[in-house]
Chain A
Amino acid sequence: MNRAIRRLSLLVGVLFLALLININVAQVLLANDIRNKPGNQRTVLEEYDKERGPILVGNAPIARSIPTQDQYNFLRVYSSGPQYAPITGFYSLVYGATSIERAENSVLAGTSDLFFVDRIQELLSGRALKGGAVTLTINARAQQAAFSGLSGKVGSVTAINPQTGEILAMASSPSYNPNLLASHDQPAIAKYYEALEADPNKPLLNRPLVSNPPPGSTFKLVTTAAALESGRFTPTSVIPGPASYKLPGTSISLKNWQGAACGPGGKVTLAQALAVSCNSAFAWLGNQLGQDALRAAAKKFGFNSGFSVPMRSATSIFPENLDSAQTAMSAVGQFNVTATSLQMAMVGAAIGNGGVTMNPYLVKDIRGPDLRVVKTAAPSQFQRALSSANALAEIAMMVGVVEGGTGSNARIPGVKVGGKTGTAETGPGRPAVAWFVALAPAEAPRVAVAVTIENAGGGAEVSGNGLAAPIARAVMEAILSGQ
């Protein structure tokens, strides 16, 4: 019988081996898959168990975790919640995480590879794991100026540092309160979220990044750049600027907003055309340059590319396969041209940076759980859009817009400000979008800002100068007074 017993024990050994292999599969091989399946409360609780790192603006936290007595141990609180909401996003039990909370989750939760050494140290010392901190490039006062300027309106503001591409302000309106989504009261969270989704003005949208209406006359900055770069035009070149321009191949005439010619005898300099936002002149320029030159110029500013700031921006489009009429309309920022306020701020920033477009970014540095800096962002160039001489020339033209043209509301005493207004038609029966792109100070620009007002809430006359320029001015003042 012993031989049989020995064989039986082999069989038992096989059974146990199957068990051992299976538990290794379940606990090691498939563990990550299983952890990410829906319905797994443990991953949420594990994350909540740790103190999540703060999101900093300057040295002050705009999002941080405070300890609580309930089962989740920590509560995420946002100071000035709605002001920073599109940037921070929210960190919610029910709806997960968005924006920076999501993009930098591994840093904030402390699981990033950057903190490998910290994690070992904390494992050995037995202290609770803390998350790392993320410092944003945002300037607090500029953000405040941007957000209060947008109050009551539907729109966006993006401000960039032309030399580095750092995003100094990114405000969206209407906004929401991320504190209400990060609470531990799950029914309340669900109710608030549903209300936000049902709001026709879409408060959850990060408008600077994803809302892209036609840029209207602000696109003339791109057309001007294309004109200068072509070598055929200078700021003093005289070009036709009649009261209206007949679109080639159609019977439609594009009119100027003044309803009249832009200069005596229907002729105007390039600089003057920009200053008074002459539609006819730029439509003519567009046909002169041709769609390829316009598109090439636009692409060098960032059109037709998406950017990760680290959140992904919507791609601003300069369309393909245009006929002459469409090219003319595109040259004035209509037809199917679309742009986010981030994109137009990048246009202004490139002009202000000697013609070099920088990649925009929001995260300035990443710090460990002990707040020492672990990684600092390095500015990176996207492409050169203009030669430095042409960039200087264009800045001078933009100053002309503010000092003698349509952008008068952007004037700041004692500072030379360059700008461009825009009023984009979005379709019959829909409100026009008011635009303003500005940079200051003209000698060595430290800030480029783009403001869109998509809906002024009725009543006020929609114009770039009237609605958008004052907000741009407030943002620029906030930046300039700080340094």
Chain B
Amino acid sequence: MSAVGAVGAAQPAAAPSGKASARQSRRTRITNRRNLELGLLVAVWLIGLYAYAEVDLAVLGKLPANLLAVAGLLAVLLGGAHIAIRILAPYADPVLVPIAALLNMLGLAMIHRLDLADAVRAQRNGTKLPSADVIAQLTWTTLALLLFAAILFTVRDHRRLQRFTYTAMVAGVVLLLLPFLPGIGTTVNGATLWVRLGPLSFQPSELAKIALAIFFAGYLVVKRDSLALVRRKVLGLGVPRGRDLGPIAVVWLFVIGLLALQNDLGTALMFFGLFVAVLYVATQRKSWLLIGGTMFIVACVIGYFAFGQVRVRVQVWLDTWTYASDQGYQLAQSLFGLANGGIFGTGWGQGYPQFVPFAKSDFIVAALGEELGVTGFMAILLLYGILVERGLRTAIACSDPFGKLLAVGLSSVMALQVFVVVGGVTRLIPLTGLTTPFLAYGGSALIANWMMIALVMRISDRNRRPVPDGPVIPWAGNHR
């Protein structure tokens, strides 16, 4: 990246006419690593097809009839995304989209596998064959990729989003409160996170992630200097002034309210964590992390004593096997499945992931853990890890503070979500209603997550784009 800047900086000295400079810039073109992305996408495409074929071979004993059609469709989807990136964000990070696509493919393969299990069971019991959820998920994937391209197209400069800081706040709060509107809100599996409009249902908290990330980034860019002021030092850490606890207290109260209404600790953790992470990066005061952590623990304690569902989840977490036949059934089945998978997994199509309730959404990562083993599970976790790391790296390389905070926010929220979901499913922490990004069945989550990738790609593209020819006009807000 520094090479980009150095070579780019060499250009203005020539101060030539347009055509000559264009020729020169072509000669000294910076590799934009899109070919690497293409290569990775081809590998992802092959892996996805392999998984699909393997599932059918294992469960049905033969290759899927529509393998070529599916191959074509996936090639069009992935190729289309790649072309959109080449046109709209050619200098962006080459690893983000292949990883997101790979996770998406793995999710599709597992949903298909679970569809087959449903069909076998329906056949055995003589009931009606259920519709294949994988088709819905494929449709959502297409839609998500279209929106991905749309975001890249409409948002040419991420800094423009800063203008919408307070709009984003309102949008985020409204989205979070939507499930509580009578008539359209629904409670699923104990948590009120879903909104149903006719035949479609979506999780507004997924879109709220983006809105609130934009809001927090925009708000803290302005307020960070004052929030970084310290009155005194306690235990070697600077403690902020009392009045600056205001914003975090407001967020905390909002989150507690959300917890009360939603009966789900997961979204609370995710949003509060998002705020604390962005706050920490904006002010660089470690004390905010400690204060945030303490407030979160207090929120958990309140949640445990005040809200029934939270208490149930914690009890099941602490003593799963006693509750294995009723409230702990889901978690117990997930653990049985994972234990069954062992080191190498049972193999695609050869485990029993269908015994875990909500295997297609909440517990899809447990289903993958059973069939791919701990090796596959670790690989998936590492994929998420790399995704988050690329996002944070984009933040580091970003030269404007809003972009930095936005990238940090989006990466942190993804990291937290993965931690909360995988931790709940594997009994590291109590279970919540969140689902794993890209893997789980759910249109709103897919769309929201691909939009997040689009925003990070936009920031990353600007980072790596060579400085334009002509005199460099320093950006007023350009300080680290």
A69 nearest CB neighbor, chain B only: B124
Q: Is there an interface contact between A23 and B426, defined as CB atoms closer than 8 Å?
A: yes
For window 225-279 of B, CB contacts with A under 8 Å fall at 277
Q: A-side binding surface: helix, strand, loop or mixed?
A: helix
Q: Is there an interface contact between B428 and A22, defined as CB atoms closer than 8 Å?
A: yes
Q: Is A200 an interface residue (CB 8 A)?
A: no
Q: Is there an interface contact between B336 and A40, defined as CB atoms closer than 8 Å?
A: yes
Q: Is A26 an interface residue (CB 8 A)?
A: yes
B421 nearest CB neighbor, chain A only: A19
Q: Is there an interface contact between B381 and A2, defined as CB atoms closer than 8 Å?
A: no
Q: Is there an interface contact between B343 and A22, defined as CB atoms closer than 8 Å?
A: no
| Complex Cα–Cα for A20 and B375 (A) | 10
Interface segment out of the listed A4-12, A443-451, A456-464: A4-12
Q: How many residues of A contact B (CB 8 A)?
A: 39
Q: Is A252 an interface residue (CB 8 A)?
A: no
Interface segment out of the listed B23-31, B72-80, B385-393: B385-393
| Complex Cα–Cα for A41 and B355 (A) | 9
Q: Tell me the minimal C-beta distance from B432 to chain A in angstroms.
A: 14
Q: Tell me the minimal C-beta distance from B298 to chain A in angstroms.
A: 20
CB contact between B339 and one of A1, A7, A19, A27 (< 8 Å): that residue: A27
Q: Is there an interface contact between A34 and B284, defined as CB atoms closer than 8 Å?
A: no
Q: B401 to chain A: which residues have CB within 8 Å? A: 1
CB contact between A70 and one of B124, B351, B418 (< 8 Å): that residue: B124
Q: B343 to chain A: which residues have CB within 8 Å? A: 27-28
Q: Is there an interface contact between A27 and B381, defined as CB atoms closer than 8 Å?
A: no
Q: Tell me the minimal C-beta distance from B30 to chain A in angstroms.
A: 23
Q: Tell me the minimal C-beta distance from B3 to chain A in angstroms.
A: 19
Q: B416 to chain A: which residues have CB within 8 Å? A: 15
| Complex Cα–Cα for A7 and B392 (A) | 11
B373 nearest CB neighbor, chain A only: A27
Q: Is there an interface contact between A6 and B396, defined as CB atoms closer than 8 Å?
A: yes
Q: Tell me the minimal C-beta distance from A9 to chain B in angstroms.
A: 5
Q: Is B194 an interface residue (CB 8 A)?
A: no
A12 nearest CB neighbor, chain B only: B415
Q: B332 to chain A: which residues have CB within 8 Å? A: 37, 39
Q: Is there an interface contact between B374 and A12, defined as CB atoms closer than 8 Å?
A: no
For window 282-317 of B, CB contacts with A under 8 Å fall at 282, 284, 286, 289
Flag B366-404 by CB within 8 Å of A: 1 or 0 each: 000100011001100100110011001001100001001
Q: Is A430 an interface residue (CB 8 A)?
A: no
| Complex Cα–Cα for A291 and B385 (A) | 78
Q: Is A250 an interface residue (CB 8 A)?
A: no
Q: Tell me the minimal C-beta distance from A47 to chain B in angstroms.
A: 12
Q: Is A190 an interface residue (CB 8 A)?
A: no
Q: A8 to chain B: which residues have CB within 8 Å? A: 277, 280-281, 392, 408, 412
Q: B405 to chain A: which residues have CB within 8 Å? A: 1
Q: Is A3 an interface residue (CB 8 A)?
A: yes
Q: Is there an interface contact between A2 and B396, defined as CB atoms closer than 8 Å?
A: yes
Q: Is there an interface contact between B423 and A34, defined as CB atoms closer than 8 Å?
A: no
For window 319-343 of B, CB contacts with A under 8 Å fall at 321, 324-325, 332, 335-343
Q: Is there an interface contact between B422 and A1, defined as CB atoms closer than 8 Å?
A: no
CB contact between B124 and one of A4, A27, A71 (< 8 Å): that residue: A71
| Complex Cα–Cα for A24 and B336 (A) | 14
CB contact between B280 and one of A4, A23, A30, A31 (< 8 Å): that residue: A4
| Complex Cα–Cα for A6 and B384 (A) | 17
Q: Is B427 an interface residue (CB 8 A)?
A: yes
Q: Is A116 an interface residue (CB 8 A)?
A: no
Q: Is there an interface contact between A16 and B419, defined as CB atoms closer than 8 Å?
A: yes
A45 nearest CB neighbor, chain B only: B352
| Complex Cα–Cα for A385 and B5 (A) | 98
Q: A372 to chain B: which residues have CB within 8 Å? A: none
Q: Is B19 an interface residue (CB 8 A)?
A: no
Q: A32 to chain B: which residues have CB within 8 Å? A: 339
| Complex Cα–Cα for A45 and B370 (A) | 15
B375 nearest CB neighbor, chain A only: A27
Q: A3 to chain B: which residues have CB within 8 Å? A: 284
Q: A19 to chain B: which residues have CB within 8 Å? A: 381, 418-419, 422-423, 426, 428
Q: Tell me the minimal C-beta distance from B162 to chain A in angstroms.
A: 16
Q: B-side binding surface: helix, strand, loop or mixed?
A: helix
CB contact between B284 and one of A4, A15, A37, A45 (< 8 Å): that residue: A4
Q: Is A46 an interface residue (CB 8 A)?
A: yes
For window 30-61 of A, CB contacts with B under 8 Å fall at 30-32, 34-35, 37-43, 45-46
| Complex Cα–Cα for A370 and B56 (A) | 29
| Complex Cα–Cα for A6 and B352 (A) | 41
Q: Tell me the minimal C-beta distance from A247 to chain B in angstroms.
A: 59
Q: Is there an interface contact between A4 and B281, defined as CB atoms closer than 8 Å?
A: yes
Q: A1 to chain B: which residues have CB within 8 Å? A: 281-282, 284, 401, 404-405, 480
B: interface residue count bin: 35 or more
Q: A23 to chain B: which residues have CB within 8 Å? A: 338, 369, 374, 377-378, 381, 422, 426
Q: Is A198 an interface residue (CB 8 A)?
A: no
A39 nearest CB neighbor, chain B only: B324
Q: Tell me the minimal C-beta distance from B434 to chain A in angstroms.
A: 14
Q: Is there an interface contact between A28 and B374, defined as CB atoms closer than 8 Å?
A: yes
Of A2, A8, A39, A41, chain B has the most CB atoms within 10 Å of the CB of A8
For window 169-226 of B, CB contacts with A under 8 Å fall at none
Flag A284-308 by CB within 8 Å of B: 1 or 0 each: 0000000000000000000000000
Q: Is there an interface contact between B389 and A9, defined as CB atoms closer than 8 Å?
A: yes
Q: Is A124 an interface residue (CB 8 A)?
A: no
| Complex Cα–Cα for A40 and B422 (A) | 21
Q: Is there an interface contact between B352 and A27, defined as CB atoms closer than 8 Å?
A: no
Q: B335 to chain A: which residues have CB within 8 Å? A: 26, 34
CB contact between A42 and one of B277, B340, B392 (< 8 Å): that residue: B340
Q: Is A117 an interface residue (CB 8 A)?
A: no
Q: B352 to chain A: which residues have CB within 8 Å? A: 41-42, 45
| Complex Cα–Cα for A359 and B399 (A) | 85
Q: B392 to chain A: which residues have CB within 8 Å? A: 5, 8-9, 12
Q: Is there an interface contact between A27 and B374, defined as CB atoms closer than 8 Å?
A: yes
Q: Tell me the minimal C-beta distance from A227 to chain B in angstroms.
A: 60
| Complex Cα–Cα for A2 and B479 (A) | 11
B423 nearest CB neighbor, chain A only: A19
Q: B351 to chain A: which residues have CB within 8 Å? A: 42
| Complex Cα–Cα for A351 and B344 (A) | 56
Q: Is there an interface contact between B336 and A42, defined as CB atoms closer than 8 Å?
A: yes
CB contact between A5 and one of B396, B415, B422 (< 8 Å): that residue: B396
Q: Is there an interface contact between A22 and B426, defined as CB atoms closer than 8 Å?
A: yes
| Complex Cα–Cα for A30 and B341 (A) | 12
Q: A20 to chain B: which residues have CB within 8 Å? A: 378, 381
A37 nearest CB neighbor, chain B only: B321
Q: Tell me the minimal C-beta distance from A111 to chain B in angstroms.
A: 13
Q: B480 to chain A: which residues have CB within 8 Å? A: 1-2
* 14 A-B contacts (beta carbon < 8 Å): A1-B284, A4-B280, A5-B395, A5-B396, A5-B404, A8-B277, A8-B392, A13-B385, A16-B384, A19-B423, A19-B426, A27-B338, A27-B369, A42-B351
Using CB atoms and an 8 Å cutoff, list the residues of chain B in contact with chain A.
Answer: 124, 277, 280-282, 284, 286, 289, 321, 324-325, 332, 335-343, 351-352, 355, 369, 373-374, 377-378, 381, 384-385, 388-389, 392, 395-396, 401, 404-405, 408, 411-412, 415-416, 418-419, 422-423, 426-428, 480
* 6 tightest Cβ-Cβ pairs between the two chains A and B: A34-B339, A27-B374, A31-B339, A22-B428, A4-B281, A4-B284
For the A-B complex with A26-B426, A45-B352 known, give 13 more contacts whose Cβ atoms are closer than 8 Å. A7-B286, A8-B277, A9-B392, A11-B289, A16-B384, A18-B423, A19-B381, A24-B374, A26-B339, A27-B341, A27-B369, A28-B374, A35-B340
